[in-house]
Amino acid sequence: MEFDLGKTIEVLERTPSVLRGLLAGIDQAWVSGGYGEGTFTPYDVVGHLITGERTDWMVRARIILDHGTDRPFDKYDRYAHFETSRGKSMGDLLDEFDAARGANLAALRALRLVPADLAKRGRHPALGEVTLANLLATWAVHDLNHLAQIARGMAARYEDAVGPWRQYLGIYKAAVTKMDGEGEARRRSTLT
């Protein structure tokens, strides 16, 4: 499927309610474990998504529109949530994400982007030149990726409990995506 801004917004606007449906009011055991050593927990994922709303997607979209490739994107801090989420409840994080996503979608719609805007280029510090369409498509897929990560973290709680059915559950067969050394160190520093 080719990029379509309307279809992208369909995914982006649903993520807060999907997260709330999965995680609001649920026992802490469901949100506090990852799906392997060094992986994000569902709690971590929501914090990470909030960081993206504040410092990534719309910030980078504006850089593309205002500066093109003349100004590279700032480095994204993938682990800032370890500090910024500390001490907050899952309900607090869900409310924060919902508000931030709502504000960003309102700002995105207000841009009234046309195809020529979507073809504009920016410069990612590691990936090189990217288009605004690339950035916006990645925003939606980033949500979907992290929703899958949340599901894996939750499913891991019952990996033993499912018994022999484990062999039929593909969620237990996918490769584990671990944090890098920086992420592990940041997590450890917030636990002390």
Domains and CATH numbers, the chain: 5-191 (1.20.120.450)
Lowest mean pLDDT among 1-10, 116-125, 148-157, 171-180: 171-180
The pLDDT tens digits for 23-67 are 999 999 999 998 888 899 999 999 999 999 999 999 999 999 999
Round to whole Å and give the CA distance between 144 and 139.
Answer: 9
pLDDT exceeds 80 at position 112: yes
Cross-strand bridge partners of residue 129: 123
Cα 10 off chain centre by: 16
Q: What is the pLDDT of residue 124?
A: 97
Q: What is the pLDDT of residue 36?
A: 87
pTM: 0.94
Mean pLDDT for 76-104 is 96
Round to whole Å and give the CA distance between 103 and 177.
Answer: 30
Beta strands in the chain (DSSP E): 121-124, 128-131
The pLDDT tens digits for 123-167 are 999 999 999 999 999 999 999 999 999 999 999 999 999 999 999
pLDDT exceeds 80 at position 192: no
Q: What is the pLDDT of residue 184?
A: 83
Q: What is the pLDDT of residue 119?
A: 98
Question: 87's torsion region: left (phi>0), alpha (psi -120 to 50) or beta?
Answer: left
Q: What is the pLDDT of residue 169?
A: 95
Round to whole Å and give the CA distance between 86 and 90.
Answer: 11
